[in-house]
Structure 1
Amino acid sequence: MPNVLRNRAAAAALVLVSVAVAGCAGENPGTPSPGTGSAPSSASSVAPEDPNVPKVAIPLDASAYAGDACKLLPAAAAAELGFTEPGEPSSESSNPSCGWFIKGKADTLQIILGSGNREKGMGGLAGMHKAKEAGQLRFLEPGPEVDGYPTVYYGIQDRRARGNCDLAVGVADDLTINTLAGGYDNEQDSCGTAQKLASAVIKTLKGA
């Protein structure tokens, strides 16, 4: 894939969580936080105050992946989604991320582990709602449950009709893992892929 396309895809994905959500906690997006997400947190540590924010019944521990978010999507699971090249990690913010690309195509995947947001007290779906209230996110809409875990669609704007889907799945009350699918022809393909990506991540966390 040409570098300009890869950079555009990565920038479009990163701006939504690494800058927007973390930014409302005063984060400098280009400065990773040492030890981000190194310690697991209990489900009740950041309990959602908004009754409209669903609680996570069975929290998942993602602390082992804070050093390498690419490991959240095994190669076999990536191949099932059409991505055979290894993921490319990024540490441009305190929220570790990994992106996948297909040579010669616009299709992209990205996983963002919101451990930096958690440490700043802005984690979980509750943090997404706080970011919306603060104006950092202009679009936030409930999504379908994925393997029993609640989700939201989010962004600075709703990009789904243009084939770019940004999904955040609450794996604990204070932690989201965001799965982004871009470069597709329509909303159905991009959001379907984002949901499949979220399901693959949940299976990894469960050790399935």
Structure 2
Amino acid sequence: MHARAIMAFGALTALLVTGCGDSTVGEPNPTDNDNPDTSTTNEPDSDLPHSGAPAVKDPITDLRAFERDPCSVHPDNELAAAGFPVDTSEEELDASAGAVCSYILEGVRAGTFTVTLAQGERGGISHVYSVHQDDLIELFEEADDIHGHPVVIAAEHDRRDKGECGIYTGLRDDAGLDVQVTFSNEERSEHHDAPCDAAYQLAELGIETLRGDT
């Protein structure tokens, strides 16, 4: 993945889906050795949702299989059929925000995107609303739900005119799907002028996979 895209993704994801808590996916708790996967299936925190965030009415409760293989959320054949032909993909299972799959699209500088199963902070979409309330992000827009899952367009800086967008979809009150896209070359990417439309389409594909609709 291009270095600039990696840096932008890392900084933004850390802001949107990581809070002051120290619980992160991929970091074993020495007291939980007999049950290492409980953090992915526990009931959501009773304090969620907060900060004006909507509740996830039809939560996806078990994400463990996808956390072990985050690139399976967006299979290459489905991406190609949707207009996102992939050149390479790479997973990172121990990222602080959650399991990540990073993609480079076919074609020179055609674009990149990353998909994170965000559970590191366990604040879910409420955390995104919280950083918005604290004026820590420049871009925040609610979007249409995807199959009943709440969606927000959010970014530390609004760079939509440069082909960048981030969309966070609530999977459960304490977990979400974070999609970050970069289509920086207007001449080489059909998605440059509407990056949030592309990010929304990718989020929709991911939700359908996670729900078992495909």
Q: TM-score per shorter chain, which class?
A: 0.7 to 0.9
Distance 1:37 1:138, change over 3 A: farther
Letter in 2 for 1:101: I
1:33 aligns with 2:30: no
Q: List per-residue Cα deviations over 1:149-204 (Å, max 9, x = no partner).
A: 21111121112122111000011111111112211546653111111111111111
Find the counterpart in structure 2 of residue 204 from structure 1: 209
Query: Counterparts in 2 of 1:114-193, with a 5 A limit?
Result: 114-118=118-122, 123-134=123-134, 136-183=136-183, 185=186, 189-193=194-198
Query: The residue matched to 1:56 in structure 2 has which SS?
Result: coil
Letter in 1 for 2:209: T
Contact 1:72–1:201 (CA under 8 A) maintained in structure 2: yes
Shift of 1:110: 1.0
Letter in 1 for 2:155: G
Shift of 1:132: 2.9
Distance of 1:94 and 1:43 partners within structure 2: 17
Q: Larger C-alpha radius of gyration, 1 or 2?
A: 2
Q: CA RMSD in A?
A: 2.8
Percent identical pairs in the alignment equals 24
- Paired residues in the alignment total 197
TM-score, length of structure 2 as denominator length: 0.78
Flag as ranges the 4+ runs of structure 1 deviating above 6 A.
none
Find the counterpart in structure 1 of residue 98 from structure 2: 95
Query: The residue matched to 1:117 in structure 2 has which SS?
Result: coil
TM-score, length of structure 1 as denominator length: 0.81
Distance 1:179 1:36, change over 3 A: farther
Q: Which sections of structure 1, spanning at least 5 residues, go unmatched?
A: none
Q: Which sections of structure 2, spanning at least 5 residues, go unmatched?
A: 29-35
Letter in 2 for 1:33: E
Contact 1:137–1:156 (CA under 8 A) maintained in structure 2: yes
Distance of 1:191 and 1:165 partners within structure 2: 5
Contact 1:142–1:152 (CA under 8 A) maintained in structure 2: yes
Contact 2:19–2:127 (CA under 8 A) maintained in structure 1: no
Find the counterpart in structure 2 of residue 47 from structure 1: 48
Shift of 1:38: 4.8
Distance of 1:145 and 1:28 partners within structure 2: 28
Distance of 1:59 and 1:133 partners within structure 2: 24
Contact 1:154–1:166 (CA under 8 A) maintained in structure 2: yes
Distance of 1:106 and 1:36 partners within structure 2: 37
